A and B are shown apart, each in its own frame.
Chain A
Amino acid sequence: MKKLLFLILIGITYYIAGMYRSQTLLILFAVEVVFAVVMFLLPRIFQRKLHLDFAVKSDVAQKDAAHLCHIQATYRGMLPVSRFRIKLQVSYDTRPDTGKGGKRSSSFRKTQTLYGNCRHGDTRLSFSFCAPFCGLYSVRMDKLRIYDYLLIFSKGKRLHEKMTVAVLPNPVPLSLSLPFASLAKGEQADMQTVDRKGNLSGEVRQLREYTAGDTARSIHWNYSARADELYVKEFEKDADLMTEILLDMSGFFLQDAASVSRFYEILYSFMLTVVGREQTVCVQWFDEKIKTVVSEKAFEKKQCGEILLKLYRTDFSEENAALCRDMTGKYRAEQAGKDSCFRLDLNLCLWYGDLLLKQF
């Protein structure tokens, strides 16, 4: 429409200039024509020199919290790009993209249009992202459209960049009263609701080398600088108590996004509750890819998140639902009688052995 209007403007200018033999308007016509040509070429020049990509290909966000994502715009031209438009498509897959087809369609899909600009060099552009569900989100850049300075002409380009955002639940521990004496030796039966943060104010017991999962706050920067390696401060000895929980993922394909999200929230809260008691939580589920029950342990919050990420990436297909159910049942039978073995199923029922503790 703008192109048409601009062409009409050029036509009117030319007509009036000719009919009234006005050199002034004729010059204006010449300016308009040259501008039209230059503006037509500009987006095509910009397009060759502009490259967009996500700053990180995978990221972690929190449910219902604004999470900042970054797009890296690399532009090698000299003239600034005053406006470009990116069409982003956000889809929420309850199952990861296996690439084999037959997967269930995404529960959520939304297209968003965003505008930006950049000049020579690398520019980091940010946009916020707020996820209503827990799970894996796929953010794709579908189309890029670059405009000229007058926003009359534009040139489009298809993009294929993609990033994955794993949305974790809010870190809210559960409040549970258990019928048994203790979950671990020497600990109280009732698990109190605790909302703790890492405590850095205690006595430093020792310095040890940095391992994955250590918080940045615990890094001893000065010592690390001298030693040319990262060292963390260790305040107390980690507890060596473990609670197991088995996930019954059979019927996963029947669940909707909200239910699955709720499942993850409950699981995450459970894990946080356990690690909040300075215990280790062991989460187990049947992985149909390797046809066995996997166990993942966590003794701090960050590891709980990592377990969830692995769970997000695990495929629970309809074809293997029966096998999953059977294997899970079999494993449960094998583990029956063991202490501290919880079970959580997709009906949001938390079991302790055969005892239903709570249905959420």
Chain B
Amino acid sequence: MGKRKVISGAKKQGRDHECSVSSFLFYLCGVYGLLFYIDSFAGIAFDRRILCLSILVFGLLLWFVFSKGNRCFFLFFLVFAVICAAAVYKYRQPLFRQTEHFASVIIGSFDGAGYRGPERSVTGMLVIAAAVIMYVMFIFEFITGNHGLLCLLFLGLLFLAPVAGLPTDGKTLFLMVVYMASFWALHGAGFRKKSLAGPERSLISTRSGAICGVLAAGIFLVAIPVVSHFSDRLYAGVYEAERLVYRTADRIQKSRGESRADGQVSRANRYKTGKDELTVYLNTAYEGDFIEEAGSEAHKPFSAVYLKGFSGGAYTENGWDPADDGTLLKKHWVNLSIDEKNDPRYEMLKERREKMPEQMEEDYYNLGAFLMASYGGSENYEPFVFVVTTKFVTDDINNQDHFEPYNHGWQLDRSLEKTAEDGYYMRSDTYDFYDQKYLHIDWNYRMGEQQIGQQTQKEFDWYQESIRAANGSETEYGQPQDSVYAGMSEDEIWNTMYENNRLAADYWNDQLARLKNAQDVYLEAVTAAYTQVPEERLPRLVQLVRSHPLETVEEITAFIIETLQSNASYSLTPGLSALNEDVVESFLFEKGRGYCVHFASAATLMYRLYGIPARYASGYVLFPEDLEKTDWGGQYKAVLTDDSAHAWVEIFLDGKGWTPVEVTPGNEHDYEKGSTVFSQEQLANALKNMDIPKTNERAKPAPEQTPRPAVSTQSGELTEPKPSEGRFRLSKELIFRILLSVCVLAGIFALLLAVGFCRRFRLCSMKKWDCRRVYGKMMRMLHFCGAFREWDGSEEEFPHLLSQYASFLPEEAVGRMFWIVGKAAYGPGKTTEEENAFVRNLYFQIADKAYKDLGMVRKLVFRYGRAFG
């Protein structure tokens, strides 16, 4: 006792989920949304008319069968399965081909390079697949009432689209959103648990779903222009949040700044921490002429100094592999052909090839130093001495990056020590560094008799002068009597000096020839290696370069810089790149924004496509204004943070070696376009009459854009490819379409409202009716519903029969109604308002009951035609 259930829910009335017109329309929205989503895959084509019509017809069929009952519905499933199986068997070969193509497109779309094959029509396969999917969706929505799974699926598809680089357009989103919102509300109101036996549960749930669907549509249409206008600000909000998380995580982890450079081309945003990573000391040794020549910025470099820590070799999915010149030269040197007969240094070269291939690298390495020392020094130009101090967390000196300036001479020093404060290993590398603008070489230059004579004359004159000036004192050559020239006649002195200079000139000429040879060999090797581009991953970039053939390095440099900087803007928060897109192509042809690593990578690839050996380089950039004077005389110091970390492209120029080219537009730093090799005037001249292409939607498309391959149908005919959907844009045509859709929807809505109001007006007007009129309407309603057709309501047994028909009403109530109406009809006095209201109340309850038993069409007539309830 006491454990029995006291209250239980009433039994559910009728089917849990009915299929009203509005819910059917929303269901179709979901199906069409899925169809248009599939349409966004590149490589898939289908006949839209056939698909749309098939979906509509099949949907109507499902709706009709469902209205006949569950048994009919599942019987239909059996018939449908048989028909499907027969169709699949009959057309198995073309269907199999289409399925195969569809699968390859889907898989390829998530590949690193995306699907690049031709488009094929898959109409047949999609018709069958659509029917199956519609059936499954119908079961989920209208029988099991499980909307959550489908909602998750649709949301997942929407989230997947940008990740996978699928261009989802507005109509797909619109249809999916309306579908998700409407059914979410529909099923929320169609409760499945303990319920009150409400008479209008189905109607209310349908209305709720319709309201949510319409609300979603309305919000969507309003959101389009708002989002288009404020999209940048909204994106910035995400980046700010990410920046905050990044910095907080960084603080929590207490990570330390570390000098680093690599070839990773990031697909994500970049956030700076401001931690110290590199320290540079600049010592200048001399003053005097140099100061006058250098001008007011004495002792500082004239322009930015690029401290390179990494050079990129092959371009892969993850970025740049490190350049391995040693292996490169070794391979190339092994294959190098030397003229045995004519080259007097054959034996020496052969020995080197066999035993010391690295010597070539050293020769090349010394090239710059030699050139600097020989030619820079010839203008009395002394180098800066850089001490670059890098920070590492390990003491493995072989695995540490070192950052060296371009055009440096020999590495003067290297030391390693560990700091006591934070456990870093500080390595100091000392270089003498020459400003590149002083570097110029003439490979054809040879010191001949004339130059030897001139040099000898200079020396002789200087010797004579010094002897005279010493006036018997010690000269630079020592005491005159100890001089090497002591006891020699002037002719003998002259001849000795001439002979020495001749030997020096011979050495010089040999050295120059050897280094020229080294450069040529090196140039051959790097040309073969550093002009390689994975063209299959970069079709748009290849097409861009091929459509703009150029000759000179100046023209190419100007074209690359201008193309990059006019089609892309600098941003540390460009967003993520889709998984199936190359990051460089995504940067240049899709997003149009990025930072130094993207600009440098794009420029490197473009240079390579033009046949110019180029490498991606990363490290730090030291600006003259970063240097601050220290307390030590003539010394400057700069502490570089990650703000100074940078990436650029370096190209190999004859006589100059690897030369940095700046292609990143200035943002926080004033990067100078081009490099010190090409002046701004040279670049401007090269740009004259040059057509700079537009690479993304933010600019007008160039006429020579990549043509889409034609679509091959099942029969082999080629059809016109459909235009790329591209990113979502608010064009005039779209605005017109939206307005037209809004007008049509508003018109339909107004019509429905009018019908609804008319019905409501008629029902409300019943409040003024007396009970007899209401009773008369009740009889007409019952007759319309097929009940009591042979009764006129005045029979004595009628209340009893009516109470049986409306069993939820007590017989007393029905009898009272009968009495009130009889009183109104036959009685002396009028009925009171309370009695009229009683009769009306009963009428509506009976009307609700009668409505439920009607079919779909008759229900519509019942409500909106006759306004019975």
B2 touches A257 (CB 8 A): yes
Give the contacts of B209-228 with A (CB-CB under 8 A).
209, 211-212, 215-216, 219-220, 223-224, 226-228
In the complex, which residues of chain B have a beta carbon less than 8 angstroms from the beta carbon of A28?
158, 173, 177
Query: In the bound complex, how far is the Cα of B168 from the Cα of A28, in angstroms?
Result: 12
In the complex, A25 has a CB within 8 A of chain B: yes
At the interface, is chain A mostly helix, strand, loop or mixed? mixed
In the complex, B195 has a CB within 8 A of chain A: yes
A117 touches B575 (CB 8 A): no
| Contact A112 B7, CB 8 Å, known A28-B173, A149-B211 | yes
Give the contacts of A203-222 with B (CB-CB under 8 A).
216, 219, 221-222
| Contact A114 B204, CB 8 Å, known A128-B10, A150-B188 | no
B818 touches A9 (CB 8 A): no
Query: In the bound complex, how far is the Cα of B204 from the Cα of A112, in angstroms?
Result: 23
In the complex, A19 has a CB within 8 A of chain B: yes
In the complex, A290 has a CB within 8 A of chain B: no
A225 touches B158 (CB 8 A): no
Query: In the bound complex, how far is the Cα of B219 from the Cα of A112, in angstroms?
Result: 38
In the complex, A360 has a CB within 8 A of chain B: no
Q: Select one of B7, B8, B219 contacting A30, CB under 8 A.
A: B219
Q: Select one of A30, A117, A119, A225 contacting B822, CB under 8 A.
A: A225
Chain A positions 218 through 249: 1 when the CB is less than 8 Å from some CB of chain B, otherwise 0: 01011011101010000000000000000000
Give the contacts of B149-203 with A (CB-CB under 8 A).
155, 158-159, 161-163, 168-170, 172-173, 177, 181, 184-185, 188-189, 191, 193-201, 203
Chain A positions 57 through 95: 1 when the CB is less than 8 Å from some CB of chain B, otherwise 0: 000000000101001000000011111000010100000
A115 touches B7 (CB 8 A): no
In the complex, which residues of chain A have a beta carbon less than 8 angstroms from the beta carbon of B578?
20
| Contact A31 B220, CB 8 Å, known A90-B6, A225-B825 | yes
In the complex, which residues of chain B have a beta carbon less than 8 angstroms from the beta carbon of A131?
6
Chain A positions 1 through 39: 1 when the CB is less than 8 Å from some CB of chain B, otherwise 0: 000000001001111111111111111111100110010
A88 touches B7 (CB 8 A): yes
Chain A, interface size category, equals 35 or more
A24 touches B170 (CB 8 A): yes
In the complex, which residues of chain A have a beta carbon less than 8 angstroms from the beta carbon of B219?
30-31, 34-35
In the complex, A156 has a CB within 8 A of chain B: no
| Contact A25 B162, CB 8 Å, known A35-B216, A116-B195 | yes
B162 touches A35 (CB 8 A): no
In the complex, B727 has a CB within 8 A of chain A: yes
Query: In the bound complex, how far is the Cα of B200 from the Cα of A126, in angstroms?
Result: 12
B235 touches A21 (CB 8 A): yes
B815 touches A216 (CB 8 A): yes
| Contact A23 B727, CB 8 Å, known A71-B196, A129-B6, A226-B826 | yes
In the complex, B317 has a CB within 8 A of chain A: no
Q: Select one of A79, A129, A216, A228 contacting B823, CB under 8 A.
A: A228
Query: In the bound complex, how far is the Cα of B226 from the Cα of A15, in angstroms?
Result: 18
In the complex, which residues of chain A have a beta carbon less than 8 angstroms from the beta carbon of B576?
19-20
A108 touches B6 (CB 8 A): yes
B796 touches A225 (CB 8 A): no
A20 touches B163 (CB 8 A): yes
In the complex, B699 has a CB within 8 A of chain A: no
Query: In the bound complex, how far is the Cα of B826 from the Cα of A221, in angstroms?
Result: 12
In the complex, which residues of chain B have a beta carbon less than 8 angstroms from the beta carbon of A114?
7, 9, 194-196
A127 touches B159 (CB 8 A): no
In the complex, A147 has a CB within 8 A of chain B: yes
Chain B positions 819 through 840: 1 when the CB is less than 8 Å from some CB of chain A, otherwise 0: 1001101111100000000000
In the complex, B133 has a CB within 8 A of chain A: no
| Contact A149 B208, CB 8 Å, known A18-B234, A112-B7 | yes
In the complex, which residues of chain A have a beta carbon less than 8 angstroms from the beta carbon of B228?
23
B207 touches A80 (CB 8 A): yes
B189 touches A117 (CB 8 A): yes
Q: How far apart are A91's CB and chain B's nearest CB, in angstroms?
A: 9
Q: Which residue of A lies closest to B763 (CB)?
A: A121
In the complex, A113 has a CB within 8 A of chain B: yes
In the complex, which residues of chain A have a beta carbon less than 8 angstroms from the beta carbon of B200?
117-119, 123
Query: In the bound complex, how far is the Cα of B269 from the Cα of A240, in angstroms?
Result: 101
Q: Select one of A16, A30, A149 contacting B162, CB under 8 A.
A: A16
A79 touches B211 (CB 8 A): yes
In the complex, which residues of chain B have a beta carbon less than 8 angstroms from the beta carbon of A82?
185, 188-189, 204-205, 208
B170 touches A31 (CB 8 A): no
In the complex, which residues of chain B have a beta carbon less than 8 angstroms from the beta carbon of A257?
1-2
| Contact A150 B185, CB 8 Å, known A115-B191, A219-B815, A225-B826 | yes
Query: In the bound complex, how far is the Cα of B185 from the Cα of A64, in angstroms?
Result: 38
Q: How far apart are B210's CB and chain A's nearest CB, in angstroms?
A: 10
In the complex, which residues of chain A have a beta carbon less than 8 angstroms from the beta carbon of B234?
14, 17-18, 26, 29
In the complex, which residues of chain A have a beta carbon less than 8 angstroms from the beta carbon of B719?
none
Give the contacts of B222-275 with A (CB-CB under 8 A).
223-224, 226-228, 231, 234-235, 237-239, 241-242, 268-269
B158 touches A130 (CB 8 A): no
B196 touches A125 (CB 8 A): yes
Q: How far apart are B422's CB and chain A's nearest CB, in angstroms?
A: 33
In the complex, B474 has a CB within 8 A of chain A: no
| Contact A9 B198, CB 8 Å, known A35-B216, A226-B827 | no
In the complex, A107 has a CB within 8 A of chain B: yes
In the complex, which residues of chain A have a beta carbon less than 8 angstroms from the beta carbon of B4?
130, 132
| Contact A228 B204, CB 8 Å, known A25-B159, A221-B818 | no
Query: In the bound complex, how far is the Cα of B7 from the Cα of A132, in angstroms?
Result: 10
A147 touches B2 (CB 8 A): no
Q: Select one of A15, A83, A107, A222 contacting B188, CB under 8 A.
A: A83
Query: In the bound complex, how far is the Cα of B9 from the Cα of A195, in angstroms?
Result: 32
Chain B positions 1 through 21: 1 when the CB is less than 8 Å from some CB of chain A, otherwise 0: 110111111100000000000
B10 touches A221 (CB 8 A): no
Q: Which residue of B lies closest to A259 (CB)?
A: B1
In the complex, A294 has a CB within 8 A of chain B: no
In the complex, which residues of chain B have a beta carbon less than 8 angstroms from the beta carbon of A45?
none
B828 touches A107 (CB 8 A): no
Query: In the bound complex, how far is the Cα of B198 from the Cα of A118, in angstroms?
Result: 8
In the complex, which residues of chain A have a beta carbon less than 8 angstroms from the beta carbon of B197?
125-127
Query: In the bound complex, how far is the Cα of B212 from the Cα of A184, in angstroms?
Result: 73
In the complex, B728 has a CB within 8 A of chain A: yes
Query: In the bound complex, how far is the Cα of B240 from the Cα of A19, in angstroms?
Result: 11
Q: How far apart are B635's CB and chain A's nearest CB, in angstroms?
A: 45
Q: How far apart are A119's CB and chain B's nearest CB, in angstroms?
A: 6
| Contact A221 B815, CB 8 Å, known A35-B216, A83-B191 | yes
B227 touches A26 (CB 8 A): yes
Query: In the bound complex, how far is the Cα of B220 from the Cα of A38, in angstroms?
Result: 14
In the complex, A151 has a CB within 8 A of chain B: yes
Q: How far apart are B775's CB and chain A's nearest CB, in angstroms?
A: 13
Query: In the bound complex, how far is the Cα of B2 from the Cα of A257, in angstroms?
Result: 9
Q: Which residue of A lies closest to B191 (CB)?
A: A115
In the complex, B799 has a CB within 8 A of chain A: yes
A35 touches B215 (CB 8 A): yes
B223 touches A30 (CB 8 A): yes
In the complex, which residues of chain B have a beta carbon less than 8 angstroms from the beta carbon of A22?
161-162, 168
In the complex, A110 has a CB within 8 A of chain B: yes
Q: Which residue of A lies closest to B845 (CB)?
A: A124
16 contacts between A and B (CB under 8 A): A17-B162, A19-B269, A25-B161, A30-B223, A83-B189, A90-B7, A114-B195, A116-B196, A117-B201, A123-B199, A129-B6, A130-B7, A216-B812, A225-B822, A226-B826, A228-B828
Residues of B within 8 A of A (CB): 1-2, 4-10, 155, 158-159, 161-163, 168-170, 172-173, 177, 181, 184-185, 188-189, 191, 193-201, 203-205, 207-209, 211-212, 215-216, 219-220, 223-224, 226-228, 231, 234-235, 237-239, 241-242, 268-269, 574-576, 578, 591, 727-728, 796, 799, 808, 811-812, 815, 818-819, 822-823, 825-829, 845
Top 5 closest A-B pairs, CB basis? A18-B238, A225-B822, A82-B189, A20-B162, A149-B185
Known A-B contacts: A19-B238, A117-B200, A127-B196. Give 11 more (CB < 8 A). Answer: A24-B172, A25-B159, A30-B227, A108-B2, A114-B194, A117-B198, A127-B9, A127-B197, A129-B6, A225-B822, A228-B829
